[in-house]
Amino acid sequence: MSELKSVVVPQALPLGVFVNASPLELDDPGYAAFIAALLAEHGLTTADLAVELTERVFIDEQAEATATIAELNDRGVRLVLDDFGTGYSALASLERFPLSALKLDGLFMNAISSPADDAPIVGAVVALGRALGLLVIGEGVETETQLAYLRAVGCEAVQGYLLGRPQPAAVSIRAPRAA
């Protein structure tokens, strides 16, 4: 159904589970209630969860998906725009939808590593996200050079093999926090 991903975030932000939501899931009017029930069943709060959406969802703007996104937001679920910059990049969506973060697609990490790079695009996207008050997450970080560049341009969070390989759910899901 959905895949688990890990992310390194600043200490001021909660570490949680990031789950990709498919367009089919977002078209389901019961999806937000399903997510709320799962969180309750496992003793988690909406602060423990971020739902990742693709740019395609914003471009299509299906009424059902838009309503589900609004309901998830109303319930306090963090919404993250995944793989930003490789699709249609509807920049207006960054202000129109209630996003908490955007994940800069891993394809941009290759641009950072090459001598004739497109790294200025990475810096511009990070600046755009920060100007809009969004957490910017660089995904696909595999080298110290990439990590250093992202830090230098103000990227607040990263994920990738440099920091650790994905783990099976039995290993990576921790026990609920004590109340």
Q: Which CATH number fits domain 4-172: 3.40.50.300, 3.20.20.450, 3.40.50.1970, 3.50.50.60?
A: 3.20.20.450
Sequence ranges of the domains in the chain: 4-172
- The predicted model scores a pTM of 0.78
Question: pLDDT tens digits, the chain, 179 residues: what are they?
Answer: 333 333 443 333 456 788 999 888 999 999 999 999 999 998 888 888 999 998 777 766 678 888 999 999 999 999 999 888 776 666 777 777 889 998 988 888 877 866 556 678 889 989 999 999 999 999 999 999 899 999 999 998 998 889 887 767 666 544 444 44
Question: Which ranges of the chain does DSSP label H, i.e. alpha helix?
Answer: 23-27, 31-41, 55-60, 63-74, 93-96, 107-113, 119-131, 144-152, 169-172
Using CA atoms, how far residue 30 sits from 21, 27, 90, 136, in Å, is 13, 9, 27, 29
